[in-house]
Amino acid sequence: MTHILPEKGISKQEIFAQLKQKQQQDFDWRTGRIFCSVYLAGKEIEEIAKEAYSMFLTENPVDPTLFPSLRDMETEVVAMCSEVLQGGENAVGTLTTGGTESILLAVKTAKNRAKALNPTQTEFELIIPYSIHSAFFKACDYFEVTPIVIPLRPDFKADAKAAENAISKNTILIAASAPSYVFGIVDPIKEIGVIALNNNLLFHIDACIGGVVLGFNRLAGLENVPEFDFSVPGVTSISMDLHKYGYTAKGCSVLMHKDKTYRKHQYYACSEWTGYTLVNPTILSTKTGGPIAAAWAVMNFLGKEGYCDISRKTMNTTHRFIEGINAIDGLQVVGNPEVSLFSFTTTKGNPYDLFDELNEKRWFVQFQLSNEYCPANLHLTVSKIHETLVDEFLIDLKACHEKVQKKGLVKKATEKVTIETVKKLAQNLSSENFEKLGKMLGFSNGAVPDKLALINRIMDVLPPDTVRNTLIDYMNDFYTVNEKR
Ligand SMILES: Cc1ncc(COP(=O)(O)O)c(C=O)c1O
């Protein structure tokens, strides 16, 4: 076994030299040539978030009596979010570490409330649209709730009637997106709200990615902003991530409830053990106070005016991207996106090849596998920084698209063999075949292949279970110290 913990500590200077060196491997996100994972609104905001985060790095919200500063900042941030979401006098909330944690807690809240109201209930169901974020499936997996997936209408919005038909005695919650990550399209919140009210059900809005933009679009007086918040009758909880379009530090989302009677079911207290008194509003116990302070600082720095200005500009940038992409022969934006994120498909050439070509030009968009409603596509999450990059991106996109079309037929012929082989291997998944399959996909020794088009195309034709297992195997390898990487 190789030893990696140094016998004697390394100097501070050397440590930071090494950290800088490690950072060289990463995507240079400061250029803005990336359309996922980071949200940029300029250096000043980044610095404010960083400084505030560092100030409260060591403070720990696990005990708010020790750190009243964190409790104060959290309640103020939550109150600001409540204003954005029209929560009125009674809405309450909690800061979590991200969208996933907010969603996990929304589902846990619904299950605990159902159990409190009906202690004999043993089956729990959650109604979700086809386009909802994977975090809901994760919540179902963690908390033993059955997901009941409803279809979409031709405009990619959830079919409200199908939601109504899916209600059973086991239903604990209906959820919908504002907007869905996949398409950037808002579900019919008002329609589903009526159904939730009529059936006395909880209704959660996943506004993780778009809540801040939609909220400030409304406050900025933009036209045709879809209604999605507590002003819609029937909505009982909303998740909204501040570490996305709130432009604060990572590790910050808010889970809002219509009032305290709902939030109560989110909390966990333990009296069974012999240690310190434990009552947690969130899943984690000990954590850093950094994200709370960063959110407080950035929100106060930007204020309503700052966010409205960013929102207006980002929507304008998004419309320029959408018009430019639709103007390229063979590319088509999916549906009518209503926030600052969207996906587009290719009617000519393959989107995965296009992804690789764009990558070669140092643009990072996100690929999405095909689904029941839409072929494989590429996804863009637009933020403030993209304002100055629209023209350059569109020129490169057009050039890459033309290149892919020229190369397309040759590639297809050579890859057909591989895809057929992979499909055969997948039919008989012995551990040996599984390893072979992983290797063919380029998933060996945790290595990341240079080109992802073939892998994506193959994943698209494999059964979901095989894809899931392959991804888990890959990740299991990836997080090991590996000299070859
Ligand atoms: C609509 C939506 N919900 C939930 C999440 C999960 O958020 P997180 O990655 O912060 O856990 C995302 C992430 O992009 C999202 O877009």
Q: What is the pLDDT of residues 356-384, one digit of tens each?
A: 999 999 999 999 999 999 999 999 999 99
pLDDT of 25 over the 80 cut: yes
Phi, psi of 377 (to 5 degrees): -150, 170
pLDDT of 37 over the 60 cut: yes
User: Can you give the pTM of this predicted structure?
Assistant: 0.94
β-pairing verdict for 331-333 and 341-346: antiparallel
For residues 37-58, average pLDDT? 97
For residues 133-138, average pLDDT? 98
Ligand 1 atom nearest the C-alpha of 209 is: 16
pLDDT of 409 over the 70 cut: no
For 143-166, what is each residue's pLDDT tens digit?
999 999 999 999 999 999 999 999
Question: Helix, strand, or coil here: 275?
Answer: coil
User: Residue 234: exposed, middle, or buried by beta-carbon count in 10 A (0-12, 13-18, 19+)?
Assistant: buried
Residues in the ligand 1 pocket, defined by CB under 6 Å = 98-100, 103, 133, 135, 177, 181, 206, 208-209, 241, 253
Which of 107, 208, 382 to mutate for ligand 1's pocket (most ligand atoms within 8 Å of CB)? Answer: 208
For residues 17-37, average pLDDT? 96
Please give the share of the chain, as a percent, with pLDDT higher than 70. 90
For residues 247-275, average pLDDT? 97
Predicted pLDDT of residue 417: 63
| Residue 303: how many other CB atoms lie within 10 Å | 11
pLDDT of 236 over the 90 cut: yes
Residues 6+ apart with CB under 8 A from 177: 129, 131, 132, 133, 158, 186, 187, 205, 206, 207
Between 167 and 431, where is the model more confident? 167
For residues 384-399, average pLDDT? 97
Predicted pLDDT of residue 349: 83
Residue ranges and CATH numbers for the domains of the chain are 51-299 (3.40.640.10)
Residue 55 in tokens: 């100030």
Write the DSSP symbol of residue 24. Answer: T
For 439-469, what is each residue's pLDDT tens digit?
666 666 656 676 777 778 778 878 888 888 8
Distance between Cα 99 and ligand 1 center (Å):
5
Distance between Cα 205 and ligand 1 center (Å):
12
pLDDT of 483 over the 60 cut: no
Please give the share of the chain, as a percent, with pLDDT higher than 90. 81
Write the DSSP symbol of residue 250. Answer: S
Predicted pLDDT of residue 82: 98
CB 166 within 8 A of CB 148: yes
Which of 100, 253, 379 to mutate for ligand 1's pocket (most ligand atoms within 8 Å of CB)? Answer: 100
pLDDT of 293 over the 70 cut: yes
pLDDT of 410 over the 60 cut: no
Go through 65-86 and write b for each residue having 16 or more CB atoms within 10 A of its CB, e for each that does not: eebebbeebbeebbebbbebbb
pLDDT of 484 over the 60 cut: no
Distance between Cα 74 and ligand 1 center (Å):
21
| pLDDT, averaged across the chain | 93
For residues 78-103, average pLDDT? 98
Residue 387 in tokens: 């304002």
Q: Which segment of 6-10, 129-133, 445-449 scores lowest on mean pLDDT?
A: 445-449
pLDDT of 413 over the 80 cut: no
For residues 391-413, average pLDDT? 86
Residue 241 in tokens: 């991530």
